[in-house]
Amino acid sequence: MQVLLAKHAGFCFGVKRATQLAFEAANIGSETYTLGPIIHSPQVVQRLEEMGVISVENVSEVETGGTIIIRSHGVAAEQLEAAVRANLEVVDATCPFVKKAQEHVATLSKEGYDIVVVGDAVHPEVQGIVSYAAGRVYVVSSHEDVERLPRMSKIGVVAQTTQSFEHLHEVVAACLARGGETRVYNTICDATAVRQEEAKKLAGAVDCMVVIGGFNSANTMRLAQICRELLPRTHHVETACQIDEQWFKGVKKVGVTAGASTPKWIIDEVIDRISAIDKDKIS
């Protein structure tokens, strides 16, 4: 059975950086905390817990003198300020792409623009980006939402990093149609789109797909959904022990991909497990 791994399976740049910073901080040995789980991988979170890293919901839960790690999709400005005020050691693992979106919002806002953020209002990354606005800020998920916004003479647009370009384009067109001045920063990161395109190609070329990543990871679930639409024999697993050899009956080629928060060690374990299956012996 041939196992084909997608070229960009697993950690994106921002998650890799955040995870490295978290493990480095954990190795230093002082009381270390993360604001919420550092990434959507229960296995990485568990490893960090075993090293003494504690996930908290609020800065006020952190012991004086402790180290706090800011996750890759960032936190609200107030949380960061509270950590600095509390004299905590801050390891800012916010992905530089997310940071850019936060900075654009702060600058546009200071220059008198009303802010439109294209994204999912309940996502922590968006909540963080929104917090950098000094004035009016609106989160929209569609161009119809733009039509419902109050009158604005200067509009500054940014996007959640995982939005599609087409979606941003639609919202910008709706903003332009309202008249006034519109300034746009394309803050989309292509890591998600690249993984999705590769997954589509792979699913079209194999008999069975295995998608690896946290069951709580939205980007992994979306990868599995995209593959399943093309190839019903698609299975989403978090770890190698969830692999069922019955899935591979009659299979000649297996495609493997993984979400942006899946560590390499889990991908390797899954590939080893699939490679060890003797499909001729499956009853």
Contact 156, 183 (CB under 8 A): yes
Stretch 144-163: interaction string toward ligand SF4, x if CB under 6 A: -----------------x--
For residue 113, with 0-12 CB atoms within 10 Å meaning exposed, 13-18 middle and 19 or more buried, which class applies?
buried
Work out the angle at residue 55's Cα, subtended by the Cα atoms of residues 50 and 61, and round it to the nearest 5 degrees: 125
Residues 6+ apart with CB under 8 A from 26: 32, 48, 51, 52, 53
Question: Does 22 contact ligand SF4 by CB under 6 A?
Answer: no
Cα R_g (the chain), whole angstroms: 21
Fill in the amino acid letter for 283: S
Question: Does 44 contact ligand SF4 by CB under 6 A?
Answer: no
- Smallest distance from the beta carbon of 11 to ligand SF4, in angstroms? 8
Question: Does 226 contact ligand SF4 by CB under 6 A?
Answer: no
Q: Interface with ligand SF4 by CB under 6 A: which range of 79-87, 91-99, 111-119, 130-138?
A: 91-99
- Smallest distance from the beta carbon of 178 to ligand SF4, in angstroms? 28
Question: Does 192 contact ligand SF4 by CB under 6 A?
Answer: yes
Give the catalytic positions in this structure.
Answer: 125
Contact 188, 163 (CB under 8 A): yes
Q: Interface with ligand SF4 by CB under 6 A: which range of 40-48, 56-64, 143-151, 188-196?
A: 188-196
Query: Which residue's CB is nearer to ligand SF4, number 62 or number 101?
Result: 101
Contact 55, 33 (CB under 8 A): yes
- Smallest distance from the beta carbon of 264 to ligand SF4, in angstroms? 15
Taking the C-alpha atoms of residue 28 and residue 110, their distance in angstroms, rounded to an integer, is 39
- Smallest distance from the beta carbon of 14 to ligand SF4, in angstroms? 3
Residues that bind ligand SF4 (CB under 6 A): 12-15, 72, 95, 97-98, 161, 189, 191-192, 260
